[in-house]
Structure 1
Amino acid sequence: MSSILTKDFSPPDPSSFTSTLASSTSPSGSSNPSLTPNGRTTTTPIMSNSNIKYRYATSTHNSSAQPSTNQFQRAYYSFPLLDRNHTPRNIAVYSFLIGATFGVGISVAVGSNTVPQLGGFLTALAFFHIMEYLLTAMVNADKLSMDAFLIHNGISYHIAHTAGLIEFLIELYFFPELKKTEWAIFIGVLLIMIGQTARSLAMWHAKHNFSHQIAFQKRRDHELVTTGIYSILRHPSYFGFFYWAVGTQVLLFNPVCFVGYCVVLHRFFRDRIKHEESLLIKFFGEDYLAYRQRVGVWIPFIK
């Protein structure tokens, strides 16, 4: 397996996130500080989709054994915008749709007296996805693909956001006053800004070492980077996605999804960090052990 060890967000691995979500409720990561800019690789939040690439899946059984599944996959990926080919057409359409979402979000946030936080959520969501692609293009062009948008980030990622929107709309209908809590809007925006800033800096400082996938082998040009944001956060990308995602639910004042996000993301990053740090210790030995002892993660109850 030859990907770059990305330790800090990429939103979480979809398979892990989905199973955890199912057991905890009824939302690629983050880059790791130890492999960044000057050699640190970053892994991701919130929800990486690298393990779910249906169009490349080939059944080991007789094709007649699973006709419905294979037919669905072929039909799904035969639609141009879902084929994930890195073409000018797809880039333009994805960028347009994200930009349109951003524009609608700004309009609602500024012009609505009833649901400004919904506009804020749409704005934050669009900004997150476009920054993932933009920063990859700026500092890691060799790895640029449609997956850099993190739109195809696993079913669990989309379920999480859908659940948040559904809860918001239901509570808005039955408890409209609940959604007018100004302190929640302020704290939510603050958490989103902190999280987005940390994640973007993690990608920027990681430069060409950043990846949305975990690497299990050390590349020759890997270096243990402890400068920049990695001097204060050991996993700034994970840190960033955790607080960004939780912040969206505070902004929407979704008590149920807030708890669900906290539980699911904490479990995911706890296990992810433990696994990745075992690889980092293997790659960098005592240097990483000293770095780990010196710099914290700053996600509650994760050391």
Structure 2
Amino acid sequence: MFLVPAAFLITVPRVVDSGNLGLLPVLFGGVVTVAALYLFWRSHADLGRNWSPTTELREDHTLTTSGVYSKVRHPMYTSLWIINAVQPLLVHNWIAGFAPVCSFAILNFIRIEYEEEMMMQKFGDEYLEYSCRTKRIVPGCL
């Protein structure tokens, strides 16, 4: 997600640069990125021992429904969507700025379906009830 844009910025001529957008978009992108990184950290902290870098459930896995998980079921993905959305403001290159969105979208939607099916199998009605009262990515939306 981040290596391809970095490699692109280093190797490709600057013909597709979006130009100097000024200081305001960069400041906005920076502030939003910091907020998204906080959400990403908070998601990990709220998961505690339930967090895993792979999609696996442990024997003692519990359903986390508090903290940021009381608002959305996948706050880590929410934070990554936010970071991807503001990256063009920080990178100033049309291709490198928007490239991660496509790859992340594919990974995101495949993985979310897999994770939700896994949670349904493990927690059944408890997860179904939780998913009825929370949104997937954006509170009040998706």
Q: Normalising by structure 2, report the TM-score.
A: 0.81
Contact 2:32 2:83 in 1 (8 A): yes
Counterpart of 1:211 in structure 2 is 52
Bigger Rg, which one: 1
Change (3 A) 1:278 1:211: same
- Bigger CA drift: 276-285 or 231-240? 231-240
Change (3 A) 1:191 1:162: farther
Using the aligned pairs only, state the percent identity.
19
Change (3 A) 1:194 1:230: same
Contact 1:195 1:244 in 2 (8 A): yes
Please, which runs of 5 or more residues in structure 1 have no aligned partner? 1-26, 28-156
Contact 2:77 2:108 in 1 (8 A): yes
Aligned residues: 140
Shift of 1:210: 1.2
Aligned partner letter, 1:204: A
Give the superposed CA RMSD. 2.6
Shift of 1:279: 0.4
The Cα offsets for residues 111-139 of structure 1, whole Å up to 9 and x where unpaired, read as: xxxxxxxxxxxxxxxxxxxxxxxxxxxxx
State the distance in 2 between where 1:240 and 1:257 align: 19
Match of 2:127, SS state, is helix
Match of 1:196, SS state, is helix
State the distance in 2 between where 1:259 and 1:187 align: 17
Counterpart of 2:66 in structure 1 is 227
Shift of 1:253: 2.3
Counterpart of 1:242 in structure 2 is 81
Aligned partner letter, 1:210: W
Higher helix share: 2
Counterpart of 1:255 in structure 2 is 94
State the distance in 1 between where 2:94 and 2:28 align: 14
